[in-house]
Structure 1
Amino acid sequence: MTERRPLVEMPLRVRYHECDGQGIVFNAHYLAYADMAAFEVERALFGSHDGLLATGVDLVVAESNLRYFAPCRFDDELVVAVYLVHLGTTSMQFELEVRRGDTVTTEIRLRYVFVDTENYRKTEPPPEVRAAYAKYLPETV
């Protein structure tokens, strides 16, 4: 069995303008929610996005996948939980859950690539960056 603990759990309230003509959150907004949560991860681990950049690396999205299970609507109170599921040599993978209460409404999978801040080429993160993320890898129990 694998024990997961979130890097962050970001509360979020759906705003009116995020909803489409059907009255539900327009699908593209879920990627914006994921991006907001990823910056919250950086804040938790490095103090801010600038704190990550000061290490000489940045992150770029290489792949995203979303699965929708239940619609979210205006004024819903959501929580976006971010889990680290893989930490490779130059990339890592997050799984995110968007929840309304106990209901998982959306699952998002993001693969990020580490790039250096000078020329934005793929690179290995410095040891302190790797260690900050590695603490959140799932443990087998």
Structure 2
Amino acid sequence: MADHPRAPVVGMPLRVRYHECDQQGIVFNAHYLAYADMAAFEFYRVVFGSAAYLTDRGIDMVVAETTLRYRRSAVFEDELVVSLSIEHIGNTSLVLGIAIHRGNELVLDGSNRYVWVDIETHRPTPPPEDVRQALRKAAETAR
């Protein structure tokens, strides 16, 4: 997690569904990762036009590390916004910051570190320059 979070590239609204809640009536912790994954597809659409943009170039992103900090509980029918920001663009990795808000209240923050992989070998590989340029542009636009 960055000490100074960057501006979000994408903010995806969602309403908590009943089946996402546990016996205590709060969102089960694993669902927050699902929310971040759902927002990642919005991120691909905003930054690259679609997720296929990456696979058409022979690359994909896989999660290598996740850090989450649970700040508040979310419950059934809460209206949340899942935001992703570009925290770091590395040679073979990308770190996206995750923030989930209920109104102005921070529910969760964290990050996912993704590794770029070749879709055939599943080995780490640097992304093509056009992918890097799209990420840099998205990061600049979000400021």
Do the two structures share a fold, i.e. TM-score over 0.5? yes
Provide the C-alpha distance between the structure 1 equivalents of 2:34 and 2:110, rounded to a whole number of angstroms.
11
Query: How far apart in 2 are the matches of 1:69 and 1:113?
Result: 27
Query: Is 1:93–1:111's contact at 8 Å kept on the other side of the alignment?
Result: yes
Structure-2 residue corresponding to 1:100: 102
Post-superposition shift, 1:60?
A: 0.2
Q: Render the CA deviation track for 1:68-88: whole Å, top value 9, x for unaligned.
A: 110000000000110101001
Moved more, 47-56 or 12-21: 47-56
What's the counterpart of residue 79 of structure 2?
Answer: 77
**1:4–1:68 distance in 2 versus 1, CA, 3 Å:** same
Q: Which residue is equivalent to 2:115? A: 113
Work out the CA distance in 2 between the residues paired with 1:94 and 1:51.
Answer: 18
- 1:3 is displaced (CA, Å) by 8.1
Tell me the distance in 2 between the aligned counterparts of 1:35 and 1:82. Answer: 10
1:68–1:107: 8 Å Cα contact kept in structure 2?
yes
Contact persistence 2:9–2:139 (CA under 8 A): no
Q: 1:13, 1:63 → 2: CA distance?
A: 26
Superposition TM-score, scaled by structure 1 size: 0.92
**CA–CA separation in structure 2 for the residues paired with 1:8 and 1:18:** 22
List runs of 5+ in structure 2 lacking aligned partners: none
Question: Which position in structure 1 is the counterpart of 2:92?
Answer: 90
Q: Which amino acid aligns with 1:57?
A: I
Q: CA deviation at 1:138?
A: 6.6
More helix by share: 2
Q: TM-score, normalised by structure 2?
A: 0.91
2:68 and 2:13 mapped to 1: Cα distance? 19
**Closer, same or farther: CA 26–3 of 1 in aligned 2, 3 Å:** closer
Tell me how far 1:104 sits from its aligned partner.
0.5
| Matched positions, count | 139
Partner letter of residue 55 of structure 2?
A: L
